[in-house]
Amino acid sequence: MFKKNTHYVSEYTEFMQQLLKDQPEMAQGQIEGRALLWDKAPINLDERQRNDASRIEQKPYPYQAD
């Protein structure tokens, strides 16, 4: 029905392509930043269960004197 325009490239896409072409080290920095903030080691379920079991429940308002 509608013919898709495959030749259009937005200004933002052009900017990002040119930026990455001019500074190729930026892509590696993005990968390192993602690894630092988001890519975490797998969770050890046994250790997590022990940590959860060893928690002491805190009162709703810890500064209230009984």
Supply 9's token pair. Answer: 């490239």
The per-residue pLDDT for 1 is 64
Cα–Cα distance, 58 to 56 (Å, whole number): 6
The per-residue pLDDT for 7 is 85
The per-residue pLDDT for 43 is 85
Q: Which of 4, 3, 23, 7 is nearest to 15 (CA)?
A: 23
Tell which wins on pLDDT, 26 or 64: 26
Q: What is the pTM of this model?
A: 0.45
Query: Which tens digit of pLDDT belongs to each residue from 4-56?
Result: 777 889 999 999 999 999 999 999 999 999 988 888 888 899 999 999 999 98
